[in-house]
Amino acid sequence: MRTGPYAVFCAVVAIAFLALEARGMNLLPESRHVTVPSSVRGAPGGYRTYRSWGGGGFRGGK
């Protein structure tokens, strides 16, 4: 890569960085996406009893 193309590359990286920050896009996903059905959302206490949260699968510590 010559200096010219590398300069363009650096500019693209800087712009991409700005775009990611502006959109608040984390490159390393730290969350899992779930869509809660409307039936759950509409039912009183539905959020508490809905079984598909998945959780962290915690099995305890020490």
Partner 1 sequence: MTSGVASACPQCGAPLRFGGAASLAAVCAYCRFASLRTGARLEVAGKVPDLVATETRLSIGTAGKFDGRTFLLLGRLQLSQGEAVWNEWYASFGDASWGWVAEAQGRLYVTFPKEGAAGLPPLRALQPGMEIRLPGVGRAVVDELNQARLVSFEGELPVRPEVGETWRYADCSTDSGGFLTLDYGSGGDVVLYAGREVGYAEAGLADCAPAAAPSQTSARALRCPNCGGPIELRRPDTRAFACPSCGGLLDVSGGAFQVLGILESRSKPPIPLGTRGTLLGEALEVLGFLVRSITVDGERFAWRELLLHGDGGYRWLSVYNGHWLYLRPIAAARVMPLGRGFVYDRRRFKHFQGGPAQYEEIQGEFYWEIRAGETVMTNDYVSPPWLLSSESTPTETSWSLGQSVTGADVWKAFQLPGTPPRAVGVGEAEPNPFRRRLAPAWTLAGATLAALLLLSAVLVARAPHREVLALDVPLTPGEVTLSEPFDVTGRPQALEITAEAAVVQAWVGLDVALIEEETGESELVAFELSSFSGVEDGERWTEGSQHGSAVISSVLEGRYVLRVEPQVERGQGQVPATAHVRVVQGVFLPAPLGLAVLLVVAWPLLLTLRLVSFEKRRWQDSDHPWSSSG
Contact set for partner 1, span 3-32 (CB under 8 A): 3, 6-7, 9-11, 13-14, 16-18, 20-32
Element (H, E) at 18: helix 3-23
Give the interface size with partner 1 as a residue count (CB under 8 A). 45
Give the C-alpha separation, 55 to 32, whole Å: 10
Q: Which amino acid is at 18?
A: L
Q: Does 37 bind partner 1 (CB under 8 A)?
A: yes
Task: Write out the residues near partner 1 by the rule CB under 8 A.
Answer: 1-3, 6-7, 9-11, 13-14, 16-18, 20-38, 40-41, 47-48, 53-58, 60-62
